[in-house]
Structure 1
Amino acid sequence: MAYIRDGRRIIVVGTRQSALALTQTGQVIDQLKALCASHNLDYEFEIRKIVTKGDRILDVTLSKVGGKGLFVKEIEQALFDGEIDLAVHSMKDMPYELPEGLVNGAIPKRVDPRDCLISRDGMSLEQLPQGAKVGTSSLRRACQLKRARPDLQIESIRGNIDSRIRKLETEGFHAIVLAAAGLQRMGWEEKISSYLQEDVSVPAVGQGALGIECRAEDTQVLELLALLNDNDSALTVRAERSFLGALNGGCQIPIGAHAILLQSNDEKASKQLELTGIVGLPDGSILLKETLQGNNPEELGIALADALKAQGAERILIEFGG
């Protein structure tokens, strides 16, 4: 049921309570307010902070906590209960399948999808000393780091961006790996020592993109979110998520994908996508990688998953997927 105050609808926005989550939620609300002003829509916005299971359990690696949607389930329940009207998620945290009755109403313009390295002495991945201790909570990152530098000592590091940066100094890490997008949204780009290009680290599915989730029957919110949606960003994320869905991938296996739109001189032609995906083992002993092109994001994701399954990804998913 919609909240009404002085004849105006109050749109309640649910978010995790980390500094990054609140920052990116505030940025989305600012964009929505601007759209309301330019389209003569009379809405107010309020933020509701919600603690998720992934926020509560910080002493265990993500892959061992188990299950999908560690950072979204409690927020989705608030949507079902009518406590909030929309939710701002990091797209990489969203499971492939959304609960019946909820939809992804918009993907705003995507920012930098790359991983990045923050090191104590500003060193790049290549410059880190032999046997350097590198922190990451991601099996996908661990797999690709070990592939690039088998000598590295990869150790789990959990927590919000600011707490992980503090642990860089307090827990003896030479470097940590984070998503560049989060640091950029926080205005902390100067902390980045180097960016990991795709030939070293293929990003997580949806990394750098936000997903705005709402109830499927809330036509007012859906119409508003349609104004926020960035079609090009949505196309690339759809391809990546199709790949994830075709692999039925969770947190137990390193999986990554990144799609880009290819330039075309024919404005009438359907947009061509290039999608790169990986499946591997956390120790880097196996890393399967493939790139395909196509103009249908869902079909491209499935085709790429099939190509990697043919190379051995299916056996990895069955034996190690948990």
Structure 2
Amino acid sequence: MALRIGTRASALAMTQAGTVADMLGAELVPIVSEGDTSTASLASLGGTGVFAKALRDALSQGEVDAVVHSYKDLPTAPEPGLVIAAVPPRADARDALCARDGMTLDDLPDGARVGTGSPRRRAQLSRYRPDLELVDIRGNIDTRLGRVGHEDPERTLDAVVLAAAGLARIGRSDAATELFDLDRWPTAPAQGALAVEVREGDEHLVQHIDHHATRACADAERGVLARLEAGCAAPIAAMAFVDDGLLFLTARVYRADGGEMIDSSRAMPLEPAAPTELATLVGIDLIERGAARIAPLDPSAPAGPATPSRRRTP
């Protein structure tokens, strides 16, 4: 009997879970979550973790044998009785600007309308281009792209910011007019990575597709969130990579309006404990430098006034 892999029913989720199903010779079981049916903002629904609940419920109840998540959407707290047993090789972790007329972020006119539902992206955009009008948007990739240059003046946007990995997975990479460099524009912890979750004791079903370097990087990035006790919707970015046997980690914490940012970077030999230890060091450094002050545990809390600037580093 083939493994049953639970996934959200969106085109993107089905496509990315399909790559895992192909690796495992498994069949897909679409599952609809509250996040897929509600038009409310993610913040009001409780953050991106809302997408994981329906999948985890189905897994815990034995309706499927494993579930596939976008790793960046998972809460950092472990789910009782469940375990992340595999993290396949990571896709492109960068953010992509999808703008009308082929424009880059610097090309956009003053006051351009840019859509994003991510507090982290809003903070970075505000920091670099405080003149932009940022519009909170929801919906699948095609829905968001459809608002760029829309004929309805109430709905039209000059650009949207999306994950490059998501665009690639549904064959829409051509919509990107600029890819933001990770050194200047780090993204959400574990962006571009998938997490395959199973019930405790069933790890053997999927462990053979685990990619050691990807898992180490994703776990280090998410470890910063856990250390800061911040949710996956907080304005926090992280980037980790492996080079010459070392694990490198950089994390940035933004004030919600982009008016202030602090960062921290560390590296250590890539050993089993390295992701946790590195995340702890970076997290402690960020806390000591004021992370809790500029990015409160409640990511929807209002920030203080920004310092005006025409161009700044994200």
What's the TM-score, normalizing by structure 2? 0.89
Return the match for 2:148 from 160, 168, 177: 168
- What pairs up with 1:1-322 in 2 under 5 angstroms? 9-33=1-25, 45-58=26-39, 60-66=40-46, 69-170=49-150, 171-218=155-202, 222-251=203-232, 253-262=234-243, 264=244, 271-295=245-269, 296-318=274-296, 320-321=298-299
What do residues 230-254 of structure 1 show as CA deviations (whole Å, max 9, x unaligned)? 1110110111111111011115530
Over the aligned positions, Cα root-mean-square deviation in angstroms equals: 1.6
Q: Distance in 2 between matches of 1:57 and 1:279?
A: 29
Q: Secondary structure at the match of 2:50?
A: coil
Q: Distance in 1 between matches of 2:267 and 2:74?
A: 24
Residue of structure 2 in register with 1:5 after alignment: none
For residue 190 of structure 1, report the CA deviation from its aligned partner. 1.1
Alignment check: 8 A CA contact 2:229 2:297 kept: no
What do residues 109-148 of structure 1 show as CA deviations (whole Å, max 9, x unaligned)? 0011000100011111111111111000000001011111
For residue 64 of structure 1, report the CA deviation from its aligned partner. 2.7
Q: Distance in 2 between matches of 1:193 and 1:67?
A: 28
One-letter amino acid of the counterpart of residue 281, structure 1 = R
What do residues 180-215 of structure 1 show as CA deviations (whole Å, max 9, x unaligned)? 001111121111111011244211011000000110
Is there any run of 5+ residues in structure 1 with no aligned partner, and where?
A: 1-8, 34-44, 265-270
What do residues 48-70 of structure 1 show as CA deviations (whole Å, max 9, x unaligned)? 11111211222x32223225621
Residues 253/24 of structure 1: CA separation in 2 closer, same or farther (3 Å cut) = closer
Alignment check: 8 A CA contact 2:76 2:231 kept: no
Q: Distance in 2 between matches of 1:185 and 1:253?
A: 25
One-letter amino acid of the counterpart of residue 288, structure 2 = A
Q: Distance in 2 between matches of 1:292 and 1:28?
A: 32
Q: Secondary structure at the match of 2:21?
A: helix
Alignment check: 8 A CA contact 2:230 2:297 kept: no
Range 225-234 or range 46-55, more displaced:
46-55
What's the TM-score, normalizing by structure 1? 0.87
Residue of structure 1 in register with 2:304 after alignment: none
One-letter amino acid of the counterpart of residue 223, structure 1 = H
Alignment check: 8 A CA contact 2:47 2:233 kept: no
For residue 274 of structure 1, report the CA deviation from its aligned partner. 1.2
One-letter amino acid of the counterpart of residue 220, structure 2 = A
Q: Percent identity?
A: 41
Q: Distance in 1 between matches of 2:217 and 2:95?
A: 17
Alignment check: 8 A CA contact 2:255 2:261 kept: yes
Structure number with greater Rg is 1
Runs of 4+ in 1 over 3 A off after TM superposition: 316-322
Q: Secondary structure at the match of 1:109?
A: coil
Q: Distance in 2 between matches of 1:66 and 1:20?
A: 21
Is there any run of 5+ residues in structure 2 with no aligned partner, and where?
A: 302-314
Alignment check: 8 A CA contact 2:235 2:295 kept: no
Residues 95/118 of structure 1: CA separation in 2 closer, same or farther (3 Å cut) = same
- Corresponding pairs, count: 292
Q: Secondary structure at the match of 1:202?
A: coil
